[in-house]
Chains A and B, each alone.
Chain A
């Protein structure tokens, strides 16, 4: 076990962590942050996407002990935050979710896409989403939601 200090959703903690434990398992099983979902556990589906020092990562292929001194934000940390509330509303209005399992990871990635591409085209959104699997929606609603949320966020800034 390794004592690790890290900040999760604004709260700094130190905890004994088994070096082989993934960040996703640590968040879900040790911190009870179950909004981070596991769809494949080998870095292919994107359901477990979280923010690590402002970068989106797949928490299933990051070891928790690697997060010493770093800041992690999960979907739970976005519950009362702009622009995620805007993105959430557009996901709702564009029918961008069905079973909801991929949704937390999709939202984390959507926010990141909008931050990097304030005016994302359809093809930019599609290629940026290429590591996020949704089995239900056929992606149409998700793409439409990201496009319209980006527009609203852009308009609010201007």
Chain B
């Protein structure tokens, strides 16, 4: 047995491990696996999905997995836009929760008119949704203009709507809390009769697909990354950084409007001060958990979406275990810090270097360790 024979597979194995471990998707996927295993250990029925009937007599699938996919939809949709904003502008939009309130409030204003509890809706749902899209995009454009034209730090620029947004939302409906009378409006956050899968899952998949197509067939992804990595050189290469940043914020505005539709539809009404509260942090964390650099540049959309679901999985898991209400945020913070730490690009790089060193040391001491290494592999 020559040394080369044993060294090669050991090195190959380590190279593969290194590649897997330092890949951006590794941490979110590992986190999902660990969460799934923990849940499964405490509840063997965790993956069971049952077909039941809701109170209206329509079939509906239920089970923890469905719940996670359902409630994570808004954060996943927001994560799409947030990833683009992060990559292009090198900062985050902290106003998405408040702009969801604004877009949702506008939607209800169109649906209900000035009467908070009308007998029928005053306009078709699609019109209300389109208005909400316009409002969401306008908010995005406002943020985008501040960031791109006026070069204000994204977190500071979006602080304006973060602070004022919920008051604006309340003002749109003159401080009333409208209730949508049409049961059709509840389809978007619940289920469509006859289709047992919750609608938010379909909406989320549609958003992800559209974004995937845009990234595949346009240069948006490339341009966004180049602006994020080096604005000046992007400009020298004929890319307009102002436009790219602006577009990123407008796309996030559109994501906000879609998320607002789901959020408002879930309970057919709105509460300005608590709707989508802290969701901006969830969305930013989703981007971070996906291992994307929060300082901008390269991004991986899939990792962000996965990150959003890691976060929702964590939330659902914590609700499941009887953790005292007052301790819940501490648990969440601990897990999130760990995850963000390990998925930080810098840490991944260090781990990668660690493997390189390990490989070298194996190469050096291969004479002694050759037998052990091959044994370990087997």
Bound together: no
Residues of B within 8 A of A (CB): none
> A residues bordering B, Cβ < 8 Å?
none
